[in-house]
Copies of this chain bind each other. A is one copy, B any other.
Amino acid sequence: MNTTSYEDHQRRWIRNVEQAERIIPLIGSLYRDRGVVTSIHGRRLINLSAVDLLRVHAYAAEAEGVELSVTESAALLRAITRVAPPPASLDVARLARLAAAERPGEPLGDDPAALDAVIRAELRGVLRGGDTDVAIDEVLERGRDVVLYGFGRIGRLLARILIAHAGNGRGPRLRAIVARRGSPDDLVKRASLLARDSVHGPFDGTIEVDEQAGTITANGTVIQVIYANDPSEVDYEAFGIVDAIVVDNTGRWRDREQLSRHLASPGASRVLLTAPGSGDVPNIVHGINHDSIADDDVILSAASCTTNAITPVLKALDDAYGVVRGHVETVHSFTNDQNLIDNFHSGDRRGRSAALNMVITETGAAKAVAKALPALAGRLTGSAIRVPTPDVSLAILNLRLGRRADRAELNGYLREVSRHSALRQQVDFVDSPELVSTDIVGSNRAGVVDGQATIADAEDVVVYVWYDNEFGYACQVVRVIEAMAGTHPVVVPRRREVTLASG
């Protein structure tokens, strides 16, 4: 290649960076002033750097097969700003495709009025009678108070996500964490664990500790740290917290009776358990059955990380092929419930060194699928092998389907599910011969299908689903919190139904 071409490419990149920098304030303003979350194929645009924005644009091309230029995005963002929609989640790439389809071959920004019309049309019927220009304060009141009871690995990741999503002050409001006091400098240690993580890296923002007030302030979110050994000792109202969703991350209590003890704390009104619930506690997997949450469901469970990872993929496969029977084997990262080196543990095999061993463990994750997806009741068995990695797990779905499956078609179908279906927040699909587990760290999906690994042999298939058992799960929990809080935004354009090519 000659130097001119080298410089051409570089100049083009630099121009793109320049444009990306310019749309950053637009994206921020829509979010803060209107409650509008903009995204490109499920990648949120909020608080990205210029290079990150270009990366997301490149992803759009990969996901859709259609290029999306920053110039086009800029035109659309300006149009959205003009239209002034009520709070919603808008996919810029898909709006661009709709607009392009209206006026094929013409640059997007050329006819602003046409662009505005496309956006208005998509908004119609979706939102309160289609009115736009509703003041954000009419729609998004002060958000719902949220309390994290237990501040272990899941608790801390929930805090990170809730803080990152707090950018316009309208969503769930993280108000407090409840923990046992572990040392005189407990508060500083909790803040430090929030600030630094051996797996997920440093906190993205600023953290301050006020030992006097007993608070940690992270990116402007003031979090009260409440020390208690039991829910009965806690009075949230004393800290101005009302009508709060208490997210129980301790795993100590699993059934309705035990969990309802949280409701006795003044200021608490709902409970979400971040572990499988027992008895009649509904297990909610976002994307599958979050619509079933009723106003009087005050005690809910977000099921386990594995159940969240596999249920959406199983639902998609059941929809298209029918799942006759299956076994789910999970190769799972170790968790703090195991020992570092051999020592006593009340559970089978979990006492043996997690850093040195493969450890077979029982798991109810496969059976629990039926709690969210009753169609699969009695059809699944499951087991898990813990291995010496700190995060990211792999669920192997050995399935007998109701009809023969072609490998390419099955992969194509799951790919479409991940891009366009109602499950696209839950399911991702990758097709890389070099992908390994650490690449999944930080994935915000419940599960990521590894297309290269898929095996299809007539009705028998094996589908491999990666998941960040910490972060991906925490994202699903936050979606349930948002659903409970009524703040999960309406999605525009609507997700479309995905069916099997041969179906």
Residues in B with CB closer than 8 Å to A331 are: 331, 358, 385, 387
In the complex, A232 has a CB within 8 A of chain B: no
A222 touches B9 (CB 8 A): yes
A55 touches B206 (CB 8 A): yes
Q: What separation, in Å, do the CA atoms of A2 and B241 have in the docked complex?
A: 8
Please give the number of chain A residues whose Cβ is less than 8 angstroms from any Cβ of chain B in the complex: 128
Chain B: which residue is nearest A180 at the CB level?
B344
B217 touches A9 (CB 8 A): yes
Copies of chain A in the complex? 4
A202 touches B439 (CB 8 A): yes
Contact of A153 among B21, B341, B439 (CB under 8 A): B341
In the complex, A490 has a CB within 8 A of chain B: no
> Knowing A221-B9, A349-B436 touch, does A14 contact B167 (C-beta < 8 A)?
yes
Q: What separation, in Å, do the CA atoms of A457 and B9 have in the docked complex?
A: 58
B21 touches A25 (CB 8 A): yes
In the complex, A279 has a CB within 8 A of chain B: no
Residues in B with CB closer than 8 Å to A385 are: 331, 394, 396
Q: What separation, in Å, do the CA atoms of A346 and B452 have in the docked complex?
A: 17
In the complex, A373 has a CB within 8 A of chain B: no
Which positions 345-363 of chain A face chain B at CB distance < 8 Å? 345-346, 348-349, 351-360
8 pairs across A/B with beta carbons < 8 Å? Answer: A3-B240, A13-B219, A13-B220, A14-B220, A17-B28, A198-B438, A331-B358, A357-B438
Other A-B pairs, 17, CB within 8 Å; known A192-B433, A387-B389: A17-B47, A24-B24, A28-B50, A47-B50, A49-B49, A182-B346, A192-B434, A193-B351, A196-B435, A198-B353, A334-B340, A335-B341, A341-B390, A341-B391, A357-B438, A359-B436, A360-B436
Q: List the 4 closest pairs (A to B, CB-CB), nearest first.
A: A13-B220, A183-B346, A357-B436, A387-B387
